Amino acid sequence: MNVRKAVIPVAGLGTRFLPASKAIPKEMLTIVDRPTIQYIVEEVVASGIEQIIFITSAGKSAIENHFDYDFALDHVLHEKKKTRLAEEINHIANLIDIVSVRQKKPMGLGHAIWMARKVVGDEPFAVLLGDDLVLSEQPCLKQMINLYNEVQESVVAIQRVSEEETCQYGIVEGREHSPRVHRVERMVEKPAPGTTRSDMAIIGRYILDPDIFDILGKTTPGHGGEIQLTDALLALANRRGMYAYEFEGTRFDAGDKLGYLKAILAFALRHPDICENFSDHIKEVAQSL
């Protein structure tokens, strides 16, 4: 069965970006000339997905509005003969079919994904977290879909991290299946130092079998009253099997201040309108240090 739908949880409070995220969803903070969430949506579209399910909460309407058609803005842009900009704005509104589901209580990532069960139905689906941006020749999600089509089991994206960083991630332990692909045997959420030898950290890209909904529905809240996704993923791996994929590309944690600045730098250096001038500016700054 093909992967046709993608779930993007955007209900979080964005506390790592306060005070900037107090009144503006962190997903709407811009990288060069577009909000972070647009890069995620564009990756989904480029990967062949047909529908997106946003898991939202109160105060997140700006995200939905960004992908909606704005008649007044369209009219003004055409009146001022800013045709190219009007076409770009309308392109955003027609990128993909979008459905929104409200998460009424902040009960964790696992609960947010469970909220999408009625829209997803009984088919495999993708999950993308808005904090993780990936620069790559082929979209990260598309790489994962290619693997899913081969193995027909759930896939999680991973990257190698230092031993000091393993305590910040969900860590996968497993055996190599093929180059860059590992059969999952164990998952540990933010392991204490010395409790795992693996350096394979899960990032915010998943392709999941719909069995995950049944597992999440039976998962009891853990730390902080939240339903943890990692626990459900391990149960799914034990039930059906799961693969970890070391994707090709560079990942940026845009939910972290330093990661966000690194993402701005990387995307600006690839932007066709400003890359040359921005590169010259970076060289000038570097020389003055």
**pLDDT tens sequence across 35-48:** 999 999 999 999 99
**pLDDT tens sequence across 117-162:** 999 999 999 999 989 999 999 999 999 999 999 999 999 999 999 9
Which pLDDT belongs to residue 105?
A: 83
Beta strand spans in the chain (E) = 5-9, 30-31, 34-35, 51-56, 97-102, 125-128, 132-135, 154-160, 170-178, 181-189, 200-208, 242-246, 250-253
Percent of the chain with pLDDT over 70: 99
- How many structural domains does the chain have? 1
Residue numbers of the domain that contains 65: 5-288
Chain mean pLDDT for the chain: 93
Pairing of strands 200-208, 181-189: unpaired
3-state class of 3 per DSSP?
Answer: coil
Two tokens, residue 108: 């964790």
Within 10 angstroms of residue 281's Cβ, the number of other Cβ atoms is 12
**pLDDT tens sequence across 149-202:** 999 999 999 999 998 889 888 899 999 999 999 999 999 888 888 888 899 999
Distance CA 39, CA 33 (A): 11
Mean pLDDT confidence for 70-89: 93
**15 pLDDT tier (thresholds 50, 70, 90):** confident
Which pLDDT belongs to residue 18?
A: 87
- What is the CB-side half-sphere exposure of residue 248 using CA atoms within 13 A? 10
Mean pLDDT confidence for 231-237: 91
Percent of the chain with pLDDT over 90: 79
CATH code assigned at 145? 3.90.550.10
Which pLDDT belongs to residue 230?
A: 86
Asked whether 126 and 207 are in contact (CB, 8 A), the reply is yes
Residue 224 has pLDDT above 80, yes or no: no
Distance CA 257, CA 179 (A): 33
**223 pLDDT tier (thresholds 50, 70, 90):** low
